[in-house]
Structure 1
Amino acid sequence: MVASHHISSHHIIFLTIKSECILLDPTKRAELSWAERFNIIQGIAHGLLYLHRDSCLRVIHRDLKVGNILLDDKMNPKISDFGSARIFEGTQNLAKTHKVVGTFGYMSPEYALGGIFSEKSDVFSFGVLLLEIVSGKKVTRFLYDNEHLSLLSHAWQLWSKGKELDLIDDALADSFSSTEVKRCIQVALLCVQDHAENRPTMAAVISMLSSETELLQPKEPIFTFHNPSKFDQPRDNNPCSIWEITLSLAEG
């Protein structure tokens, strides 16, 4: 799924533009209904499934994030920026690189720490993106409870206490489906499991999002990052540059 180069700039979501993004901007995201957000979530999921299984080449994106999702005039998402993508051939299921590329906060543990990537590393990134769309919070800017909780950890704690609706973006007020939101959060938590084998495939994700079947119970994610506020200055003058964050494994 490749985004058109002719989409006007106000239809593009940029992760790193503080005041001009759509999903993560306090004003602009209020214009998106839950139905539109859910459509975006499903569209991204179908796009990833196409890359992983349905295209003539199996493609691992390796840098899925809000900044690499384009929206057309009907708010349909397109996955873009394949500069970091890799093609898998035949029965290949994973690969390893000594040069890790991508964006911290969206990287799976095995990729960020060991350079191992697969379909499941894209699934992890999708889970992070899903939590951002639901919450309206940016993963590389989110701090909760005196900087001790990441967006992933905060989402899991709310879910484990049966308070997952507290994660919902305030901009949505009461205009959302609580059933769909709860399901999205649980699916996201399944996608960000620490071990790749515990994450669903994108085919399974689509099935879970579009059905009412009982979902598996996610385990607490311990892979997290701390204090991104220390790196609030962009590396260059480009407003679309990626801001740095630190990365660590929390103690279990």
Structure 2
Amino acid sequence: MSPEYAMQGLFSVKSDVYSFGVLLLEVITGRKNSHFYDESNSSNLVGYVWDLWREGRALEVVDTLMGDSYPEDQVLRCIQIGLLCVQESAMDRPSMSDVVFMLSNDTTLPSPKQPAFITKESYYSGDPLTSEGSHSINEVTITMLGPR
């Protein structure tokens, strides 16, 4: 779900572009954005891919089931396109027709800007069953009913 829709209820064609970018990164990594948690990094899948992209280690995100059976340049291009689709500002994201063009041609791609992602740091801090944690792991509260 695009951040502008999640936070402000604003939906546009760029919301679909964001979703496509997440899907593209999920296919490449073999992981789901919604179930991703990496203890060495406090962000979701999009943030993890972004961090490795900035460090020049983007190929480390490729699903290990792929082995070495993929053309690195094409996978790097797809990662870059995925990151272009999940940029924080909807205005910076390409249109879907631009994405199709980028996927089917070898044109030079712009550098992606920081993606929109929410860190999961607060979800895993403290013990969720005591007062140290601000909420449960899955953000569900329990109401204990008692007699008066």
TM over 0.5: yes
**Structure 1 runs (4+) greater than 4 angstroms displaced:** none
Structure with greater strand percent: 1
Which sections of structure 2, spanning at least 5 residues, go unmatched? 125-135, 141-148
Q: Deviations over 1:83-125 (max 9, x none)?
A: xxxxxxxxxxxxxxxxxxxxxxxx1111000000011001000
Matched, 1:199 2:93: yes
Q: What is the match of residue 162 of structure 1?
A: 56
Matches within 5 A, 1:146-225: 146=40, 148-225=42-119
Structure with greater helix percent: 2
Q: Deviations over 1:20-72 (max 9, x none)?
A: xxxxxxxxxxxxxxxxxxxxxxxxxxxxxxxxxxxxxxxxxxxxxxxxxxxxx
Shift of 1:231: 2.5
CA distance in 2, matches of 1:174, 1:232: 39
Q: What is the match of residue 231 of structure 1?
A: 138
Shift of 1:145: 3.4
Kindly provide the amino acid, as one letter, of the partner of residue 137 in structure 2.
K
Identity %: 46
CA distance in 1, matches of 2:57, 2:139: 31
Shift of 1:223: 2.6
CA distance in 2, matches of 1:222, 1:186: 15
Match of 2:11, SS?
Answer: strand
Which sections of structure 1, spanning at least 5 residues, go unmatched? 1-106, 234-252
- Decide whether the 8 Å contact of 2:44 with 2:117 is kept in 1: no
Whose relative contact order is higher, 1 or 2, with alpha carbons under 8 Å and at least 6 apart? 2
Q: What is the match of residue 129 of structure 2?
A: none
Number of equivalent positions:
127
Larger radius of gyration: 2
Query: Which of residues 123, 128, 144 in structure 1 aligns to 2:22?
Result: 128
